[in-house]
Amino acid sequence: MVDAHRTFVIVGAGLAGAKAAEALRSEGFRGRVILIGDERDHPYERPALSKGYLQGKEERDSVFVHEPSWYARADIELHLGQPAVHLDRAARKVVLGDGTAVHYDKLLLATGAEPRRLDVPGTGLAGVHHLRRLSHAERLRGVLATLGRDNGHLLIAGAGWIGLEVAAAARGYGAEVTVVEPLATPLHAVLGPEIGRLFGDLHAENGVRFHFGARLTEIVGQDGMVLAVRTDDGEEHPAHAVLAAIGAAPRTALAEAAGLALVDREHGGGIAVDASLRTSDPDVFAVGDVAAAHHPLLGTRLRVEHWANALNGGPAAARAMLGQEVSYDRVPYFFSDQYDVGMEYSGYAPVGGYDQVLIRGDAARREFIAFWLSQGRVLAGMNVNVWDVTGHIQALIRSKAPVDREALADPSVPLASLVPGEGA
Ligand SMILES: Cc1cc2nc3c(=O)[nH]c(=O)nc-3n(C[C@H](O)[C@H](O)[C@H](O)COP(=O)(O)OP(=O)(O)OC[C@H]3O[C@@H](n4cnc5c(N)ncnc54)[C@H](O)[C@@H]3O)c2cc1C
């Protein structure tokens, strides 16, 4: 069928969806492109919601993927504030909340993820917050400012990236902050105990209190207000507001009801896709936080919940929808900023998957690169307040070659010289 008569539908108007729509046009697709989103805002990027925007340093306008007028100019039909509630694969149609049925020739699911909820008494109190949407960040920004002004106390459940970034923002407003985390160090699942501990130290130095090895059992409140939080070791912590930052769950409901293959929760969840981001239905693709893709480089299936994966995966999915050969094998990458510490992480090294953590540089001054190795091969690398090294770190990971560990730990040896084929 000629392109101009085909309709490509994208469900999920976040970064991955918007970038896929953009790529369909830049690749020359002349048919209809319909982008459906349940949020009322135009597609936006989320990283600033726990950083610059939350801190009051960045404007609301700075988070949008494109300016609103871009969509009409690119001939993208936007349906905002409109959830897709049903997917009928046999009839190739998506049904929206208002009953409108939208036909598709190819469909992309870019439905992202949603915050996991605490399953304890008191979780419905108005003072309990989550952070995923712009509207959440707007609300939380006001809460942090009030807590800072009144010497109030924010209790954060979960010492992952979002929990820690909000802790840093809250300290910036002058609020008291306690973080409750069941494991022994922050960021345990991603960084392991060795490097996670360094982030714990950073926050402790900035006045954050940690309560490790404990879980919330109850949020105590009155008239919607939070008064305190109880943990399973019998302690009670003062709190005027709570942030539940205990991870996100992929939004797979539409795919599941339509009978698409999923990955079970113990293996990370998500819609199962191959390396070309195609689901178990050849006309349906999935990308971004919701997709668990086979990763050709890592040889495993992975659901990556990071900005760069949405940014680059969206266009890759668009190309696959157009019938191009796609093998999406970008090295997983993410970044974070907390206080005066900026970092970038490349690769994949889950706890139990590496046998050595090697530091290059000065960890005490927080200017270093950490490498996670297995049998002398670099699985992942994280540069902390060291810049312009991501390309070399990713090349080391891609090479899968054993590396000279002494040279790797020595900042005077150029990283490029350790990458096979790049060295002098
Ligand atoms: C506060 C915060 C800070 C972050 N900071 C960083 C960072 O510093 N670095 C980093 O690498 N990553 C960061 N991330 C992660 C990054 O933002 C995500 O990986 C990225 O947003 C994923 O994009 P996506 O398009 O796949 O999903 P999303 O951004 O979640 O977009 C999916 C969209 O689809 C909509 N949707 C879902 N179901 C339906 C439906 N049935 N019908 C219609 N619409 C639907 C959703 O409402 C949403 O608007 C952060 C995330 C958050 C929440």
**φ, ψ for residue 62 (rounded to 5)?**
-75, -10
Tell whether 401 and 357 lie within a shared domain: yes
Tell whether 237 and 272 lie within a shared domain: no
Question: Are residues 179 and 156 in contact, defined by beta-carbon separation less than 8 angstroms?
Answer: yes
The span from the CA of 260 to the CA of 305, in Å, is 20
How far apart are the CA of 321 and the centre of ligand 1, in A?
21
- The pLDDT value recorded for residue 4 is 84
Domain ranges, residue 180 = 128-246
Which of 42, 111, 138 has most ligand 1 atoms within 8 Å of its beta carbon, as the pocket-test mutant? 111
Q: Which of 391, 289, 385, 388 is nearest to 337 (CA)?
A: 385
Instruction: Please provide the average confidence, as pLDDT, over all residues in the chain.
Output: 96
The answer to the question of residue 1 being in a domain is no
Tell whether 73 and 156 lie within a shared domain: no
The gap from C-alpha 10 to its chain's centroid, in whole angstroms, comes to: 20
Residues with CB under 6 A from ligand 1: 11-17, 36-39, 46-47, 49-50, 83-84, 110-113, 131-132, 162, 251, 254, 288-289, 305-308, 310, 334-336
- What total of structural domains would you count in the chain? 3
The span from the CA of 93 to the CA of 90, in Å, is 8
Q: What is the dihedral of CA 97, 100, 105, 109, to 10 degrees?
A: -10
- The pLDDT value recorded for residue 115 is 98
The span from the CA of 393 to the CA of 261, in Å, is 34
* Measured CA distances, 418 to 61, 144, 382, 409 (Å): 42, 46, 16, 11
Give, in degrees to the nearest 5, the angle at Cα 288 between 287 and 293. 60
Amino acid symbol at 349: A
Tell whether 286 and 350 lie within a shared domain: no
Final residue belonging to a domain, choices 246, 281, 310: 246
Which of 289, 312, 341, 344 has most ligand 1 atoms within 8 Å of its beta carbon, as the pocket-test mutant? 289
Question: Are residues 285 and 277 in contact, defined by beta-carbon separation less than 8 angstroms?
Answer: yes
Asked if residue 68 has pLDDT above 60, the reply is yes
Which of 22, 46, 102, 304 has most ligand 1 atoms within 8 Å of its beta carbon, as the pocket-test mutant? 46
CATH assignment of the domain containing 413: 3.30.390.30
Tell whether 39 and 70 lie within a shared domain: yes
Could you give the count of Cα atoms lying within 13 Å of 256 in the half-sphere of its Cβ? 12
- The pLDDT value recorded for residue 421 is 82
Digit-coded pLDDT (tens) for 104-157: 999 999 999 999 999 999 999 999 999 999 999 999 999 999 999 999 999 999
Looking at the CA of residue 82, tell me the nearest atom of ligand 1: 43
Which of 306, 334, 337 has most ligand 1 atoms within 8 Å of its beta carbon, as the pocket-test mutant? 306
Asked if residue 322 has pLDDT above 70, the reply is yes
Looking at the CA of residue 18, tell me the nearest atom of ligand 1: 25
The answer to the question of residue 120 being in a domain is no
At residue 2 the predicted structure's pLDDT band, cuts being 50, 70 and 90, is: low
The span from the CA of 51 to the CA of 198, in Å, is 20
**DSSP SS3 for 23:** helix
Tell whether 139 and 242 lie within a shared domain: yes
Asked if residue 227 has pLDDT above 70, the reply is yes
The answer to the question of residue 121 being in a domain is no
Choose between 347 and 351: higher pLDDT: 347
**Neighbouring C-beta atoms of residue 156, cutoff 10 Å:** 27
DSSP conformational letter for 64: B
How far apart are the CA of 15 and the centre of ligand 1, in A?
7
At residue 64 the predicted structure's pLDDT band, cuts being 50, 70 and 90, is: very high
CATH assignment of the domain containing 167: 3.50.50.60
Tell whether 109 and 253 lie within a shared domain: yes
Q: Which of 185, 163, 199 is nearest to 366 (CA)?
A: 199
The answer to the question of residue 122 being in a domain is no
The span from the CA of 20 to the CA of 10, in Å, is 8
Asked if residue 94 has pLDDT above 90, the reply is yes
The answer to the question of residue 163 being in a domain is yes
Question: Are residues 36 and 82 in contact, defined by beta-carbon separation less than 8 angstroms?
Answer: yes
Digit-coded pLDDT (tens) for 230-277: 999 999 999 999 999 999 999 999 999 999 999 999 999 999 999 999
Amino acid symbol at 85: V
Residue entry with tokens 């953009």: 22
Tell whether 154 and 210 lie within a shared domain: yes
The answer to the question of residue 166 being in a domain is yes
- The pLDDT value recorded for residue 3 is 82
Percentage of residues in the chain with pLDDT exceeding 90?
96
The answer to the question of residue 139 being in a domain is yes
Tell whether 172 and 239 lie within a shared domain: yes
How far apart are the CA of 364 and the centre of ligand 1, in A?
34
DSSP string, 241-275: EEEE-S-EEE--HHHHHTT--B--GGGT-SEEE-T
Tell whether 241 and 254 lie within a shared domain: no
Asked if residue 1 has pLDDT above 80, the reply is no
Final residue belonging to a domain, choices 192, 224, 246: 246
Looking at the CA of residue 248, tell me the nearest atom of ligand 1: 53
Looking at the CA of residue 17, tell me the nearest atom of ligand 1: 25
Final residue belonging to a domain, choices 246, 278, 295: 246
- The pLDDT value recorded for residue 79 is 97
The span from the CA of 13 to the CA of 45, in Å, is 11
Looking at the CA of residue 304, tell me the nearest atom of ligand 1: 19
The span from the CA of 217 to the CA of 230, in Å, is 6
Digit-coded pLDDT (tens) for 165-199: 999 999 999 999 999 999 999 999 889 998 999 99
DSSP string, 106-153: EEEE---EEEPPP-STTTTSTTEE--SSHHHHHHHHHHHHHHHHTT-E
The span from the CA of 76 to the CA of 90, in Å, is 25
How far apart are the CA of 312 and the centre of ligand 1, in A?
14
Tell whether 34 and 144 lie within a shared domain: no
Digit-coded pLDDT (tens) for 10-43: 999 999 999 999 999 999 999 999 999 999 999 9
The span from the CA of 268 to the CA of 260, in Å, is 16
How far apart are the CA of 43 and the centre of ligand 1, in A?
10
Tell whether 167 and 212 lie within a shared domain: yes
Percentage of residues in the chain with pLDDT exceeding 70?
99
- The pLDDT value recorded for residue 385 is 97
Q: What is the model's pTM?
A: 0.97
- The pLDDT value recorded for residue 423 is 60
The answer to the question of residue 172 being in a domain is yes
**DSSP SS3 for 357:** strand
Question: Are residues 368 and 386 in contact, defined by beta-carbon separation less than 8 angstroms?
Answer: yes
